[in-house]
Amino acid sequence: MAVLLLAVFEATIVERVNLISDVITRSFVTHPDMRGELTEVYRASWGACNAPVQFNLVRSEPGVMRGLHMHRFHADQVMMVSGRALIGLVDYRPDSPTFGVADVVALQDSDQMVAIPVGVAHGFWIPAGGLMLYGLDVEWSTADELQCRWDDPDVHIPWSRYGDPHPADTEGGPLLSARDRAAGTLATMLADFASS
In whole angstroms, what is the distance from residue 41 CA to residue 8 CA?
A: 16
CB atoms within 10 A of CB 93: 18
Of 125, 136, 146, give the one whose Cα is nearest residue 65: 125
The model's pLDDT over 111-168, given as tens digits with 9 standing for 90+, comes to 899 999 999 999 999 999 999 999 998 898 888 889 999 999 999 999 998 888 899 9
How confident is the model over 171-180, as a mean pLDDT? 95
How far is the C-alpha of 101 from the C-alpha of 140, rounded, in Å?
26
Choose between 18 and 23: higher pLDDT. Answer: 23
pLDDT band of residue 17 (cuts 50, 70, 90) is very low
Summarised one tens digit per residue, pLDDT across range 95-123 is 999 999 999 999 998 789 999 999 999 99
Nearest to 78 by CA among 53, 113, 50: 113
* pLDDT of 7 strictly over 60: no
Domains along the chain?
Answer: 2-30+38-194 (2.60.120.10)
Element (H, E) at 75: none
